[in-house]
Amino acid sequence: MELADKLNYPSSGYKLKSITAFKIFIYHREHSLGDSEAIIPKIIRENKHVINFPKTNNKCVFHCIAWHTFQSPKKDPRRIQAQVKEAFKRYCSFKGVEYLLSLFRSFKPIDLLQLDEVEDCFQLGINVYKMDVVSGNVECIRRSDKGYEAMDILSFENHALYIKNIDMLQAKYQCPECEMVFVSAERVKSHKKNQCELVNIESFPAEPTIYKPAQNTIRSLLTKYSFKDADQYIDHFIVYDFETILKPTATQHGENTVFTNEHIPLSVSVADSLTEEVRCFVNDDPKMLLVDMFKYIGDVSVKIQRFYVNKYRSLLQKIINAHGLTGMEIPGVNLGKKYNMTDV
């Protein structure tokens, strides 16, 4: 509720008082990295910018880390098991778990949500991409927000492959800081060296720019007449709900619309937040149904009006004292005299 109050637009006349119902959606997700049984398609398998490690036994992420951190000009993707074990031992130590050979062999795949702690363990930023095997398009599905050295991996069928050069794989050259795209590696290198000083900051407007809520007249009056910390919100309101039937009608052809049925109201339920009563009206005659409905709404409106007159009594008194309501021209209203509080 506290958060809901803060989310109101500054000029809103409405305030959330209660949540009467809610629905919970449970999405079953499965995005772990470690399936060594995945069948890698030819478009990925033969791509020279991707390394697919053989027989990873659910530890393809550790293979990628071992390959990235292993500094040797003669390193071979088929012969890095010793480095993979060392990386796994380091991860066990980071987690406070004793390294066992049985644990190494039975290790479960790593979920994407666990990559934050993997990054902290190896002081390495991990970006994860996926590829559409039909179009060849490469899309980032996880971008590290850590300041570590970055490593890129490709996820396919829950199997992680090492990306040697993401720009070549994407066939585009993008600045990692400002995300501008360039036509060549030389251009992006020059941009990063000489021009890119941008730090991405997400900002949001304090006031709505596209959606314009209706002006709150009470708030404007309270501000105009110097009332501070006054309640600007609308306390009470009336709601209604119709039940209708569809009656076939003579087909009417509009310019873009065909009418085949019309709604015939049978009943209407009216509720208000002041009395907290619900009144239901049923009538075979739609016109009489509306007469009954609006007569009841009129009666309740009088009670709500009295509530607001009492609530904003000091504001109304200040307006009357300041203007007296004399000499004012309001279309359709003949004032003709000076109004007092009792008249209001």
Q: For residue 79, what is the domain's CATH number? A: 3.90.70.80
| pLDDT tens-digit profile, the chain (344 residues) | 455 555 555 566 667 777 788 888 887 666 778 776 778 888 888 888 899 888 888 889 999 999 998 888 788 888 889 999 999 999 999 999 999 999 988 888 888 888 999 999 999 999 999 988 887 888 888 889 888 999 999 998 888 999 998 888 877 777 777 777 777 777 878 887 777 766 555 667 777 677 777 777 888 888 887 888 778 888 898 999 999 998 888 766 666 777 788 889 999 999 999 999 999 999 999 999 999 999 999 999 999 988 988 888 888 777 777 766 544 444 444 445 555 555 55
209 part of a folded domain = no
* pLDDT (0 to 100) of residue 198: 61
Q: Are strands 124-131 and 149-156 parallel, antiparallel or unpaired?
A: parallel
* pLDDT (0 to 100) of residue 146: 87
Output the six-digit token pair for 247: 């009656």
* pLDDT (0 to 100) of residue 83: 92
54 part of a folded domain = yes
Residue 283: name the closest of 242, 234, 333 by CA.
242
* pLDDT (0 to 100) of residue 324: 63
150 part of a folded domain = yes
* pLDDT (0 to 100) of residue 9: 55
Domain count, the chain: 1
88 part of a folded domain = yes
60 part of a folded domain = yes
* pLDDT (0 to 100) of residue 197: 67
21 part of a folded domain = no
Domain that holds residue 137: 32-164
Q: Are strands 124-131 and 238-253 parallel, antiparallel or unpaired?
A: unpaired
Q: Rounded to two decimals, what is the model's pTM? A: 0.47
* pLDDT (0 to 100) of residue 329: 44
The CA-CA-CA angle for residues 1, 273, 340, to 5°, reads 110
263 part of a folded domain = no
Q: What is the Cα gyration radius of the chain?
A: 34
Rounded CA gap, 97 and 294, in Å?
72
5 part of a folded domain = no
